[in-house]
Amino acid sequence: MRFHLQKFLETGKTPYTATFSFDFSQADFPGYQVNEPVAGTFSAELIPEGVHITLQAVAKADAECARCLAPVHETYTIAQEYIVRPRDLSDEDFELPLDEKGLLDVEELVYQEVIFAVPRVLLCSPDCLGLCPICGKRKAAGCTCQPADEAAPADARLSILKQLLS
């Protein structure tokens, strides 16, 4: 989906609104997938400074908990606004995905916003205890070897200390 930003700046008298649904199931995301389509609304209207763009979308990330590997399905709401001034169209460092003809790649913009919205580290819960290093089970699932786990290294260190002292 491409929006002709330059043309809209010149002739866009009435506000523009479009709904979209983008399939990012084959796209590359850092550490998670977006298997369900990302649906939302893209709007543009002329203001004295240029074009006021509003983007709203809902994205669902699928991942494994970074600590215990349990499946994580999180929903993120994207709500962004941008103001594009006429001079931005010829600015090579302009942050929005705009080509030399003044066409805005809305799908690429949504993709960038999904990456921005989803945290780098996804957890099944903020206080996930992770996996037990002894039995390999999720600690939240009721592993019983946690006390031994904590006591053992201290004992080992203590016995080395005793050997050194004797």
Q: Could you give the 3-state DSSP secondary structure of residue 76?
A: strand
Tell me which of 44, 68, 98, 131 binds Zn ion, using CB under 5 A.
68
Which residues lie across from 64 on neighbouring strands? 71
Minimum Å gap between C-beta 131 and Zn ion is 8
Confirm or reject binding of residue 115 to Zn ion (CB under 5 A).
Answer: no
Phi, psi of 12 (to 5 degrees): -80, 85
Using CB under 5 A, which of 1, 58, 103, 145 touches Zn ion?
145
Q: Which is nearer to Zn ion, 46 or 128 (CB)?
A: 128
Q: How far is the CB of 67 from Zn ion (least distance, A)?
A: 5
60 within 8 A of 74, measured Cβ to Cβ = yes
Q: How far is the CB of 61 from Zn ion (least distance, A)?
A: 15
Q: Could you tell me the end-to-end alpha-carbon distance of the chain, in angstroms, rounded to an integer?
A: 77
For residues 1-30, which are near Zn ion according to CB under 5 A?
Answer: none
Question: Contact with Zn ion (CB under 5 A): which of 79, 134, 141, 148?
Answer: 134
CB of 71 to Zn ion, least distance (A): 10
Q: Tokens 């930003």 label which residue? A: 5
Contact between 118 and 106 (Cβ < 8 Å): no
Question: Whose CA is closest to 23, among 15, 33, 14, 32?
Answer: 33
Instruction: From 18-26, 37-45, 111-119, 127-135, give the range in contact with Zn ion by CB under 5 A.
Output: 127-135
DSSP letter string over 15-37?
-EEEEEEE--TTS--SS-B--S-
Smallest gap from Cβ 29 to Zn ion, in A, equals: 19
Binding site for Zn ion (CB under 5 A): 65, 67-68, 70, 124, 128, 132, 134-135, 143, 145
